[in-house]
């Protein structure tokens, strides 16, 4: 656990203040005050003195955005995509590696870095997250100005999401080999370390052999999502989120991140001085050209028109993901609204019932969607045919943190299928 006097002593260091301030430039900042939670949002850091004054007020950690903004203070809840695009001046690629077993986080981070190096990217940086994982970064200065026909700054979060999926597919077999080698092939030991109930939860097989079922976290890759700043404390571990040499991730030891052991700052996270313009162009194009097998499988049904039921299936037979959405969510409300509307149509709900339910749902959201967004959406969907929502194999439900599968979930491919199987048979 983090001791406040230890945190204050560390944040008093001029080199630490400078490093946090440099990383916070043009980025949204949120400050955590221990168990009291986060302060106001949006916030910024403008001067070195800001870091110390906030620390004196009880700050334990600083969190910053992947996105860079003209003026972060103009950000507000419920902004439309175009409003955010007008404010966004760029974004950084930040890949979050966080496995239950720290040694496996090392293996994953090592392979991600090796793949980026293999892709001729020079401006790779890495930092210990402060607890179980690592953040791997590439600054916006390394990106091309245009990508897939539009300004690169406007391709967030689609580009980093695609990149994370691409890297995962490319390293998953190598990761399985590393983990098995580390544990001398003892699968039971691997399962215990990652708290897996079944072997399939950690190791699976395909036509190319065994691969690790360890995913790169894509929850971080969403608009206005924040990550722990470099040189910021992790409240639970009491360790510092320390920038390290990307080439030394396998030899990193957590004791290096104890504040008393950090004498000098030798590495910088997201250092733009190492970047070469457009060095990521080929890599990004390869990521967009790559089509993993599961994406091809879901294409055939993702946009398939289906015939809606004549009688609405009650909420009690909805799958966990839809029930979780209906309880109110913090992130991904617009995407959830589309998925929920398509789902309701497919399980027999009429326009009036959908409108009533969506309005009640919006009241439960911690930050409500604007009424004009909701009304415009409902009008648009009144004239559309019933269409399946995203398949369960899609990461969408995990990204918005509503995927809590039960036993039936493991047997179906789509939330609509779940509800049709769950409802009582008609006599």
- Considering the domain architecture, whether residues 122 and 193 belong to the same structural domain is answered as yes
Single residue among 234, 269, 289 that ends a domain in this structure: 289
Same domain, 228 and 200: yes
Do 333 and 251 fall within a single domain? no
Largest CA distance in the chain: 75
In a domain, 34, yes or no: yes
pLDDT bin (cut points 50, 70, 90) of residue 304 is very low
Question: In whole angstroms, what is the distance from residue 55 CA to residue 9 CA?
Answer: 9
Specify the pTM. Answer: 0.71
Boundary-marking domain end, from 229, 264, 289: 289
Residues 352 and 253 in one domain: no
- 211 with 317, same domain: the answer is no
Q: Could you tell me how many residues make up the chain? A: 427
Residues 35, 178, single domain; the answer is yes
User: Is residue 295 one of the residues assigned to a domain?
Assistant: no
Are 10 and 233 in contact by the 8 Å Cβ rule? The answer is: yes
Tell me, yes or no, whether 346 and 256 share the same domain. Answer: no
Distance in angstroms (rounded) separating the CA atoms of residues 308 and 204: 36
Parent domain of 393: 301-422
Q: Which of 269, 289, 309 is the last residue of a domain?
A: 289
With respect to residue 296, please indicate whether it lies within any of the assigned structural domains: no
Residue 272 lies in a domain: yes
Q: How many domains does the chain have?
A: 2
Would you say residue 294 lies in a domain? Answer: no
H or E stretch including 371? helix 371-382
236 band by pLDDT with thresholds 50, 70 and 90: very high
User: How confident is the model over 44-88, as pLDDT tens digits?
Assistant: 999 999 999 999 999 999 999 999 999 999 998 778 888 999 999
| Tens-place pLDDT, residues 139-163 | 999 999 998 888 999 999 889 988 9
Inside any domain, residue 427: no
- On whether both 155 and 265 belong to a single domain, the answer is yes
């Amino acid at each position: 656990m983090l001791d406040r006097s230890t945190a204050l002593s560390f944040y008093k260091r001029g080199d630490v203040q400078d490093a946090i301030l440099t990383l916070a430039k043009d980025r949204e900042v949120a400050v955590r005050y221990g168990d009291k939670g986060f302060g106001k949002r949006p916030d910024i850091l403008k001067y070195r003195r800001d870091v110390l004054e906030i620390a004196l007020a009880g700050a334990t950690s600083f969190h910053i955005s992947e996105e860079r903004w003209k003026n972060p203070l103009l950000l507000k809840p419920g902004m439309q995509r175009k409003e955010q695009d007008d404010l966004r001046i760029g974004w950084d690629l930040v890949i979050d590696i966080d496995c239950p077993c720290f040694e496996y986080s090392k293996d994953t981070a090592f392979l991600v870095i090796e793949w980026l190096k293999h892709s001729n990217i020079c401006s790779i940086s890495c930092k210990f997250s402060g607890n179980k994982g690592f953040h791997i970064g590439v600054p916006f200065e390394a990106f091309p100005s245009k990508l897939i026909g539009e300004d690169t700054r406007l391709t967030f979060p689609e580009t980093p999401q695609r990149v994370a999926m691409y890297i995962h597919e490319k390293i998953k077999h190598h990761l399985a080999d590393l983990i098995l080698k580390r544990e001398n092939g003892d699968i039971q030991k691997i399962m215990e370390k990652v708290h897996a109930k079944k072997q399939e939860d950690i190791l699976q097989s395909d036509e190319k052999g065994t691969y690790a079922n360890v995913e790169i976290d894509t929850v971080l890759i969403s608009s206005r999502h924040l990550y722990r700043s470099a040189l910021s404390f992790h409240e639970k571990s009491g360790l510092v989120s320390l920038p390290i040499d990307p080439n030394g991730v396998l030899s990193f030891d957590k004791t290096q991140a104890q504040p008393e052991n950090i004498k000098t700052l030798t590495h910088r996270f997201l250092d733009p001085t190492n970047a070469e313009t457009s060095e990521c162009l080929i890599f990004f194009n390869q990521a967009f050209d790559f089509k993993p097998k599961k994406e091809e499988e879901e294409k055939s049904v993702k946009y398939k028109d289906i015939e809606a039921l004549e009688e609405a299936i009650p909420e009690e037979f909805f799958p966990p993901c839809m029930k979780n959405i209906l309880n109110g969510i913090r992130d991904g409300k617009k995407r959830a609204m589309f998925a929920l509307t398509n789902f309701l149509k497919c399980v027999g709900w009429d326009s009036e019932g959908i409108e009533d339910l969506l309005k009640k749902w919006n009241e439960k959201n911690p930050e409500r969607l604007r009424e004009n967004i909701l009304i415009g959406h409902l009008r648009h969907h009144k004239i559309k045919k019933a269409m399946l929502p995203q398949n369960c194999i899609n990461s969408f439900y995990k990204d918005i943190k509503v995927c809590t599968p039960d036993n039936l979930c493991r047997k179906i491919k789509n939330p609509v299928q779940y509800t049709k199987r769950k409802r009582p048979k008609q006599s």
